[in-house]
Chain A
Amino acid sequence: MIDPREIQSIVKAHILDRFLPQANADELTTETPLIAGGILDSLATVRLVTFLEERFGIEVKAHEANAENLGSLAQIADLVRRKVDRA
């Protein structure tokens, strides 16, 4: 079983590197709104999903790439953990 905090750490590092290169890492918390806050636009979402699938060996289905699953680091970690545990 993968630790959700480890998932959050990996995803946070990716988002900071790819989508928020000038941001202060402390400002990106587990609850920061990624979609509602405009950090993940359509293309960034596709790139993030590509990263999640390749990094964690999961598949995010078309109906799952929504604000409920990708809206924050906590929600992303929960989605990844559920899929990894199911595998």
Chain B
Amino acid sequence: MNFASTPEHDALRDQIRTFARDRLNHDVVGRDRERRFSPDLWRTCGTHGLPGLPAPVEHGGRGFDPLTCVVALDALGYGCTDHGLTFALCAHLAACVVPIWQFGTEAQQRRYLPGLCDGRLIGAHAMTEAEAGSDSFNMRTVAERTAGGWRLHGAKKFVSNALHADLIVAFALTESSTRFHGGVTAFVLERSTPGLTISAPIDTMGLRTASVADIRLEDVRVEDAHVLGGVGAGAGVFARAMDWERICLFAAHVGQMERLLDRAVTHARTRQVGGVAIGKHQAVSHRIADMKVRVDAARLLTYRAASRLGVTRAVALDAAIAKLFVSEALVQTAMDTVQILGGNGYATDHEVERALRDAVGARIYSGTSEIQRNIISGWLGL
């Protein structure tokens, strides 16, 4: 067990924090108000290889191991105040790049990974349905066999990146009697596929610089070459994507928590009331001490989970623990920062209130906190 970071990780962290702070934070308040995703910033991230961190170098990725990916995304979360952009990048990476890299055929990898890695293509992941929210495999979307291919029919809800996605990994029932056990198949769908339509954007409390929309699949016909990971492999593809998402996306949240902590410390040391810095009052300093404990615990859980990605399938437990803790800690940290900054924390142009709005979704996406507790207790045999 070694808790020391390497010089390579330190250099990567510094490089990405600087890049994000200097290049990604322009007019975030305005874009949040206008609910505007920035394709330009996405491409800027592409020039730095962020959308393809773990993908093999020969397919345009940076070939990072999971722990290095987490270091990079932690740094992105710290440096980038556009939480919607960070969310969109992580969703793309974990739920589209990783499945195609790990389960795609050579032809699928050659066709899609270079563009997904360099910022030319945006990926999405379509699993949730209206009648099957947390009970994902109770889906209604079906894929029926046709001569030489498949015909898909159904609807997906709350698809992150949907408005701008060029490529969607979508899940459908191919054998209704077995569902989780070999009855679900993943498909790679290109945006231009006839019958695939995307709804108007869904207005959300936070992460307004990312896009979320519903998808309809009406008589969508694709060839066998669009099957991802084999017929009936959907449960495995989905599980792998969730392992990566619950670790990588929440690594970015650890970075966001540390940025909020630094903001709170700076404010508490410089803001004076009655000639005394407010940080000298225990009501403030103890709150900040708790924030520090949460950041460090969140980072340890996330990095431990990352070190087990690809090593054992039991990482699903580590990922659930990390996801649950980080999401709850992020909301609490954002609440504490608002409280410490007082009126400035509540005002919309100081970015802290947006951090709180952006944090709330973390307890819902990638499986709610309740689902994570179900997973954890299930692993304990309960």
* A in complex with B: yes
**Chain A residues packing against B (C-beta within 8 Å):** 18-19, 21, 35, 40-47, 49-50, 53-54, 61-63, 65-68, 70
Q: A47-B378, A49-B313, A54-B312 are in contact. List 14 more A-B contacts (CB 8 A).
A: A42-B180, A43-B374, A43-B375, A44-B378, A46-B239, A50-B313, A53-B312, A53-B313, A62-B230, A62-B233, A62-B240, A63-B231, A63-B233, A66-B183
User: In the complex, what residues of B have CB within 8 A of residue A67's CB?
Assistant: 178, 181-182
A71, closest chain B residue (CB): B181
Would A62 and B379 be within 8 Å (CB), given that A46-B313, A46-B316 are in contact? Answer: no
Q: Which of A40, A42, A54 contacts B235 (CB 8 A)?
A: A42
- The B interface, classified by DSSP as helix, strand, loop or mixed, is loop
Q: How far is the CA of A54 from the CA of B381 in the complex (A)?
A: 18
- Whether A62 touches B229, Cβ cut-off 8 Å, given contacts A43-B378, A46-B316, is yes
Instruction: Check A63–B181 contact: CB distance below 8 A.
Output: no
Give the size range of B's interface with the partner: 20 to 34
A61-B233 contact, Cβ under 8 Å, with A46-B313, A70-B181: yes
Interface string of B360-382 (1 = CB under 8 A from A): 00000000000000110011010
Which of B235, B316, B378 is A62 in contact with, Cβ under 8 Å? B235
Number of A-B contacts (CB under 8 A): 62
B137 at interface by CB-CB < 8 Å = yes
Distance in angstroms from B183 CB to nearest chain A CB is 8
Interface residues of B (CB under 8 A from A): 103, 137, 178, 180-183, 229-233, 235-237, 239-240, 312-314, 316, 374-375, 378-379, 381
When the two chains form their complex, are residues A68 and B313 in contact, meaning their CB atoms are under 8 A apart?
no
A35 to chain B, nearest CB (A): 5
**Is there contact, CB below 8 Å, between A61 and B312?**
no
**Closest Cβ neighbor of A42 among chain B residues:** B180
Q: Are B178 and A66 in contact (CB under 8 A)?
A: yes
Q: How far is the CA of A61 from the CA of B231 in the complex (A)?
A: 12
Which of the residues A18, A19, A62 comes within 8 Å of B236, measured between beta carbons? A62
With A and B bound together, what is the CA distance between A43 and B135 in angstroms?
12
CB distance from A72 to the nearest CB of B (A): 12
Chain B residue at minimal CB-CB distance from A17:
B381
Within the complex, the shortest CB–CB distance from A77 to chain B, in Å, comes to 18
Cβ-closest 9 pairs across A and B = A62-B236, A66-B182, A63-B230, A63-B233, A62-B233, A43-B378, A50-B313, A42-B180, A67-B181
Residues of B within 8 A of A45 (CB): 180-181
Q: Bound complex: CA of A18 vs CA of B378, how far in Å?
A: 10
Give the docked Cα–Cα distance between A63 and B316 (Å): 18
Distance to closest chain B CB from A64 (angstroms): 8
What is the CA–CA distance of A66 and B177 in the complex, to the nearest angstrom? Answer: 11
